[in-house]
Structure 1
Amino acid sequence: MELNVSTASQGGHAVVTATGELDLYTAPRLQAALAGLLRDQADHIVVDLSGVEFCDSTGMNVLLAAMKRLKEQGGSLELAAPRPAVKRILQVTGLDTVFTVTEAAPVLDAG
């Protein structure tokens, strides 16, 4: 399965939308998108997981590393709308207490 990643930015806020499976083979795509936003000095990144059907430890590590770097820059990372399978991984690993997780998919203002 593929992983499609798209980003949208507005001011210092950015939304990363991932769809598909986030695993050892596809995680570099998400990592590259997040690294680009970090370079662009985004101060708040929301990762929309509503289209992610599977996420393994590699995917979680990419999200953790991005959150750590963003916090070091004074920013924040939020996970939005994880599907039940991804939510279960967050709960089993205890990462649901590390990440800010919201139920609703993110919306950037149209202007």
Structure 2
Amino acid sequence: MSKGLPGPTASGSSRPDDPIMWLRCAILGDVTRVAVAGEVDLSNAHLLTELLESVATRTPLVAVDLSEVTFFGAYGTDALVRARRLLADRGGRLTLCRPAPVVRRVLDVTGTLAGFEVVDAPAPPNGHGRSARPVTIVRAGS
């Protein structure tokens, strides 16, 4: 690894242009399904926050599928807590569908797991069969 490049991510990728998180969103009637895959950390959790805040006004239920998350940091916890609060303020609900063990552990350690409705079943299907959209962090000057 050359000097000045970031070290490998939690998944082992050392290429700075490799996407580390994928997001997929579908609105089906009164349910919004958000699927998250890969790593949720300081560099990208704001994208999850923005997506969840955006869809919180569209349907009364947001189901977040976290089954394919491989790394989950404190900023991911903050994104989920903020979305849950925003939905509750508007009379809606946020459910966590099949959270990966790493997600459960972080939410449990931070004392926030009990505040979430956790469903150990898949989120409602997205109905489109499209693959997740990779999210690549673009740094200024790149």
TM over 0.5: yes
Pairwise CA distance, 1:54 = 1.1
| Residue 20 of structure 1, aligned match among 38, 42, 60 | 38
Equivalent pair of 1:3/1:29 in contact (CA under 8 Å): no
Equivalent-residue separation in structure 2 for 1:32 and 1:109 (angstroms): 20
Equivalent pair of 1:4/1:18 in contact (CA under 8 Å): yes
TM-score, normalising length: structure 1: 0.90
Structure 1 pair 109/36, CA: closer, same or farther in 2 (3 Å)? Answer: closer
Give structure 1 regions of 4+ aligned residues with deviation exceeding 6 angstroms.
Answer: none
For 2:122, the equivalent position in structure 1 comes to 105
Equivalent-residue separation in structure 1 for 2:68 and 2:29 (angstroms): 25
Larger radius of gyration: 2
For 2:63, the equivalent position in structure 1 comes to 46
For 2:135, the equivalent position in structure 1 comes to none
Alpha carbon RMSD of aligned pairs, Å?
1.5
**Which of the two has greater helix per residue?**
1
**Which of the two has greater strand per residue?**
1
Equivalent-residue separation in structure 2 for 1:62 and 1:73 (angstroms): 17
Equivalent pair of 2:68/2:100 in contact (CA under 8 Å): yes
**2:119 partner letter:** T
- Residue identity over aligned pairs, in percent, reads 32
For 2:54, the equivalent position in structure 1 comes to 36
Equivalent-residue separation in structure 1 for 2:29 and 2:55 (angstroms): 12
TM-score, normalising length: structure 2: 0.71
Pairwise CA distance, 1:108 = 3.5
Pairwise CA distance, 1:107 = 2.1
**1:74 partner letter:** G
